[in-house]
Amino acid sequence: MITEERCMEIRILARQGKSIREIARLTGPSRNTVRKYLRDPDRAPRYRQRPARASKLDPYKAYLARRVAAAHPARIPATVLYREIRALGFEGSERLVRRHLRGLYPAPAAEPENRFETAPGEQMQVDWCVFRRGREPLSAFVAVLGYSRAAFVEFTSSERFEALRACHEHAFAYFGGVPREVLYDNMRTVVIGRDAYGPGRHRFHPRLWDLARHFGFVPRLCRPYRARTKGKVERFNRYLRASFYVPLASRLGSAGLAVDAATANAEVRRWLDEVANVRHHGETRARPVDRLAEERQALQPLPARLSVEPSPEAAAPAPARWPTERLQRPVAVYEQLLQEGAL
């Protein structure tokens, strides 16, 4: 079965210049299936939900669970348990028993962390770095290119899809190109159903697919509860908090002011250009800005129209709200305060 997400991925990979053979290898369907969906850009997959079928093992699962619990912490070999339930009338395969038994034992110990490197232009990792919740929320959209470790940061008071879309546009413009894939956490504006079509086959937000199709990248998801899958952006989040946000918040806090998105964005671009992207990175032993010059040659070109058109729902006027009084000062006040603190 091919899903709408897989169909979209096939077309994006074709835009990236990959051959039909390579697309079939990366996505799973046969080459003829790939050709079929590339030949007709408007073709959509047709499938119907199949009802769950009863397993031959169902009558024996309670027996297997009791035998596993009785032997704990030791393990009874699957071949032994298979022979036992065969004697009770089971007619299925030993492989079916082995697959079921794997779910009855504790998860294996965490595997050692291996450094995962990507080729230039291959991957960008994205995450929200949350600084404040409540009535005055503050988050930072953080994007890190996998090869160069070049980073982009934009502060926002919202994590809604409109903010996510705009931050993508600004990040691609800052880097000067588009990577072939973008790796996300399991945020609600990215994925609707994880493993919705089977292991590793997720149902992504339809507006994210519009964004991916416009820029030509394939969305990917990191493994849940495993931050090191996107460790490059996770490590940068800690660096951003310690090196940029805490010093800025402490200087403003001494004057009774709080950091807002406008103030942070007025400072963070300079910090990226003068500090973060020109430091010698601890893993690559090189400056991200120097490796970005190399990686930029491998990035896909920016589309002629950088901005993605909002959907009709997003373009509808917002409902009327009661007027509120802003408690923050203009950006010029913060800039003057920061200049005085630097003296």
Q: What is the pLDDT of residues 173-203, one digit of tens each?
A: 999 999 999 999 878 888 777 765 666 667 7
- Write out the two tokens for 337: 């305060």
CB 142 within 8 A of CB 236: yes
d(CA 304, CA 6): 26
CB 272 within 8 A of CB 128: no
Confidence check: pLDDT of 111 > 90 = no
d(CA 48, CA 61): 29
Look at the block and give the residue holding tokens 């070109």: 301
- Write out the two tokens for 266: 């007025």
CB 268 within 8 A of CB 244: yes
pLDDT tens sequence across 271-285: 999 999 999 988 888
Instruction: Give the DSSP letter of residue 182.
Output: E
pTM of the model: 0.65
C-alpha to C-alpha distances, 26 to 16, 19, 58, 170, 198, nearest whole angstrom: 13, 11, 35, 29, 16
Look at the block and give the residue holding tokens 């929200």: 128
pLDDT tens sequence across 9-34: 888 898 888 999 999 888 888 899 88
End-to-end CA distance of the chain: 65
> Whose CA is closest to 64, among 52, 50, 78, 54?
78
φ and ψ at 74, to 5 degrees? -75, 165
- The reply to whether CATH 3.30.420.10 applies to domain 123-308+329-336 is yes
What is the structure's pLDDT at 323? 43
